[in-house]
Structures are given as C-alpha cells and as structure tokens.
Amino acid sequence: MNNVFLEGKDFARSYILPYTDLTDKESKFPEESFKKLGEKGFLKLLIPVEYGGLGKGLEEHAQVCLAFAESCSTTALCYMMHNVALMCIQTHGSDELKKKIFTDVVENGKFLALAYSEFGTGTNFYISEMTIEVNRDYTTFYGSKSMVTSATYASYYLVLAPSVEEGKINNWVFPLETKGLTFEISKWQGLGMRGNSSCPMHIDNVTLDSSFRIGAEGSGEEQVFNVVAPFFVTGLAAVYSGTAMHLFEIAKNHVVDRQYPDGKTLANIETVQVHIGNIYKTAAASKAITLEAARAGANGEEDALAKILAARIVASEAAIECGRLAMRVGGGKAYNKSLPTERLLRDAYAGQIMAPSADVLAIWLGKALTGQMIP
C-alpha cells in the first residue's frame, strides 16, 4: 500500500458502502466487510513485515480509519479498535503470543477487539474492578465488561484486569472460545453506531496461563497510556472526522441534485451556500488536525499529545455540528430518512461520550498544555 488513504477509499466504496444502510437498520455487524478486510490485507496493516504484515504505523492507522468512516462510521470504529489491540501485542507481547495472534490475522482473517470499560468505572476504563485468583502460572478471572465493541464477532479480546502487584493492572488476551466467556447481545440498543455490537461481556471462572498476558506483570497501565491512548484517541478523531466529511458529501450532493421546476437547484440559494461552506470548513478542519496529530505522534514530536487530544475533541464536535447543518440543508428529505443524514447524526453523537469522553479529554488537554500529570 503506497497511499493507504486512497486505497482505503476505494475499498470502502466497493466493500463497505454497500452494507452501510443494513448495518444501521438491522443493527447488523458488518461481517461481509470484515471478511473483505482480511482478504484485501487491511487487517494486517500494523503487523510487522517479519510476521507477514504491512508494517505501518500511526499515520496509516489514522488515514485508513478516516477513509472507512467516509463510508461507514460503524465499520471504521470496529476496525480502529482491532488496530489498537494489535499494537499492544506488537509492542508488549511475547514472541509466542505475537506469532499466534499475528498468524491468525494474516492467514485466517481473524480480528481483535477491546474489552476494557466496566459498569462501575465508565470513562476511566483503565481502572478494573474485576477479581482474580492466581495459582502458579494460571490466573482465574471473575467480572464483567460493560461495552465490548465487535462482541461475539472478534476472535480475540483484550481485557484489563488487576495485577498481583498492588495498584497495578495487566492486559490479557481472551480468545472468543474461552470457557466461561459469555455475551449479552440483547443489551446493545445504541442510538447510533448500531452495527458495532457493543454489549456486555461476562467473565465467570475464566482461567488462562501467563502466555495470554500481554507484557510483564503489572505493565497494563503503561500499555494503556503509551500505546492504547495514542492509537485509540487518534483513531477516534479519524472516525469522527470521516463522519463529518461523509455528512459534507451527502449535503453537497443533495443541494446540487435537488432541482426546482424552473431548473434552479438548492445550490443556487445563498443561505444554502453558506451552510455548505460551513459544513465543509468544519469537516476539513477536523480532518486536517487529525492527520497532523497522527503525523506528530508518529514522529514523536513534543506537542504530539496535545495535538492528538485536541484532534479528538475537535472531531467529536465537528461531526455533530456538520450533522446539525446537514439536517437543515436536507430539510424534509433528511428528517424523513430519504437521506442518510439522520443516521450519521446519530453516529456522530457517540463521539462525545465514548471513553475517554470529550469532557475528560478537555481536562487532559489542559493538563498536557500546562505540564501536569495525566490523568
């Protein structure tokens, strides 16, 4: 892949967009798209070349997530989380774990998900209330995760749980077929992102040996803040920037195509022109700061953290604002669902509350800019 954004756009038009409406209307996970993601090599984007992957990094991660979101926010979100999980294994996993997971992704098209959030900790997903019992090389887990995206469809789930070292956490890989792992699919009733299958996962007497632990004992927090945070937060910025750009395309096409009996279109009305301009500049600014944040993060620049946090906040707000204006431009056709604007507006609202929420990120941004500890 030389230009992953353009390749992502081409892929999305062929293998994501055809299923987008169905994904929302039936709350259907985009299985067909994910099968093609494996076949076309996108699932191995971040896997090192020596394991059969493409060896790409943060910039390409953001570009592909953004490209996918310009066709389907749900698919982009689920794909983004797969990439985040892979990065934890790449940076902290043992050689044995890397070989096992990476081979399954590369050769069998399997993908990963994150099982971090809990009912009691909410947006502070790095705090785990699970309980563990340790018997030599085996650990037994008890507890629940509240919103596990790609639930039942992903083959591996990254789970944060307490460490034997007081006050620390571990990051584990739970295979889907693990005994004691169950999901409550009926509990997912999302306002938007309806196809992402984000339901509770219950962990009852699940026992794993230490080969499924990612990294050294007690290294979970390090992974959360040094790996998960930059790839997850940048990925969310990309998803919602892509959603904003998608809203622009829908609104623009509608005003150009909507013709009156005298031959004029909505695009001839000055008020509509102003709205279209505002939608574009809002979406384009969000896209620009997201790509800049990914570039700064990939190069380890001093202000990378601030840019990543700012991009996520801007993107979340931009998607909602673009949706609001696109609904106004679309009028009755948008309100009556003749246009996909209403669906995208619902998708956009998820951005401000998804952990870490926009409010939490605003605090973190202030801390980052003034040299204070996060969180």
CATH of the domain at 147: 2.40.110.10
Q: Is the pLDDT of residue 220 over 70?
A: yes
Express each pLDDT in 190-216 by its tens digit: 999 999 999 999 999 999 999 999 999
Instruction: Please report where in the chains the tokens 């992402």 appear, as a residue.
Output: 196
pLDDT of residue 374: 85
Residue 24 structure tokens: 């929302």
User: Sign (positive/negative) of CA torsion 107, 113, 348, 313?
Assistant: negative
Q: Is the pLDDT of residue 146 over 90?
A: yes
**Domain co-membership, 277 together with 158:** no
E strands, 46-155, where? 112-115, 131-135, 138-148
Express each pLDDT in 249-267 by its tens digit: 999 999 999 999 999 999 9
Q: Is the pLDDT of residue 337 over 70?
A: yes
> Which of the residue ranges 23-32, 84-93, 125-134, 179-188 would you say has the lowest mean pLDDT?
125-134
Phi, psi of 110 (to 5 degrees): -75, 155
**Domain co-membership, 365 together with 230:** yes
Asked, for residue 233, whether it belongs to a domain, the answer is: yes
**Domain co-membership, 238 together with 304:** yes
Choosing from 184, 218, 252, the residue where a domain stops is 218
Is 375:229 a contact under the CB 8 Å cutoff? no
Nearest to 342, CA basis, from 227, 221, 215, 254 = 254
**Domain co-membership, 193 together with 100:** no
pLDDT of residue 123: 67
Distances (CA, A) of 200 to 114, 151, 231: 12, 8, 23
Nearest to 69, CA basis, from 54, 84, 80, 57 = 80
Provide mean pLDDT across the span 344-363: 93
Mean pLDDT of the chain: 96
Asked, for residue 197, whether it belongs to a domain, the answer is: yes
Asked, for residue 140, whether it belongs to a domain, the answer is: yes
Asked, for residue 50, whether it belongs to a domain, the answer is: yes
| Structural domain boundaries enclosing 290 | 221-369
**Domain co-membership, 363 together with 234:** yes
pTM above 0.85, yes or no: yes
Q: Which of the four pLDDT bands, split at 50, 70 and 90, describes residue 375? A: confident
Instruction: Give ∠ CA 288-7-100 in degrees, rounded to 5.
Output: 105
The domain tally of the chain equals 3
How many other CB atoms sit within 10 Å of the CB of residue 205? Answer: 10
pLDDT of residue 153: 98
**Domain co-membership, 136 together with 261:** no
Q: Which of the four pLDDT bands, split at 50, 70 and 90, describes residue 269? A: very high
Asked, for residue 331, whether it belongs to a domain, the answer is: yes
Give CA–CA dist 158/332, Å, rounded.
44
Distances (CA, A) of 20 to 24, 69, 158, 344: 7, 10, 27, 11
Asked, for residue 252, whether it belongs to a domain, the answer is: yes
pLDDT of residue 126: 79
Is 163:217 a contact under the CB 8 Å cutoff? yes
**Domain co-membership, 55 together with 182:** no
**Domain co-membership, 143 together with 236:** no
Residues of the chain above pLDDT 90, percent = 94
Express each pLDDT in 227-248 by its tens digit: 999 999 999 999 999 999 999 9
Q: Is the pLDDT of residue 355 over 90?
A: no
The CATH number that applies at residue 298 is 1.20.140.10
Give CA–CA dist 83/231, Å, rounded.
8
Q: Which of the four pLDDT bands, split at 50, 70 and 90, describes residue 139? A: very high
pLDDT of residue 1: 52
Q: Is the pLDDT of residue 85 over 90?
A: yes
Asked, for residue 375, whether it belongs to a domain, the answer is: no
Q: Which of the four pLDDT bands, split at 50, 70 and 90, describes residue 2? A: low
